Amino acid sequence: MSVVVRYIEGADRNDPNAARSHMYALTKAGNYWPMCDYGWNRSNGARFSILRGWGSKRGTCAICLRNVEQGKRPVIHARSHKTKWL
């Protein structure tokens, strides 16, 4: 994975205010990667669909914020979880 250039906040496209928004790392290669497992919001952790630059009225994910503050790497391989369609 290439170097992280910056971080953005993104809200779930299903309903931006139904869940907390997550932080995503933009790499030098131009890819976005979530900063926690929950940032992968599609079935089986295969993809994520976000409104880039949008925050949620419910706040930002505490796990993402902690991982950014600690300088951790983005989550490249997500755990499998069911998509929460609203």
- Three-class DSSP category at 70: coil
Helices (H), the chain: 62-69
Asked whether the whole model's pTM tops 0.75, one would answer yes
d(CA 55, CA 76): 22
SS3 4: strand
Domain edges within the chain: 4-69
Structure tokens at 54: 């949008």
pLDDT of residue 25: 92
Higher-confidence position of 36 and 78: 36
pLDDT mean over 57-80 = 87
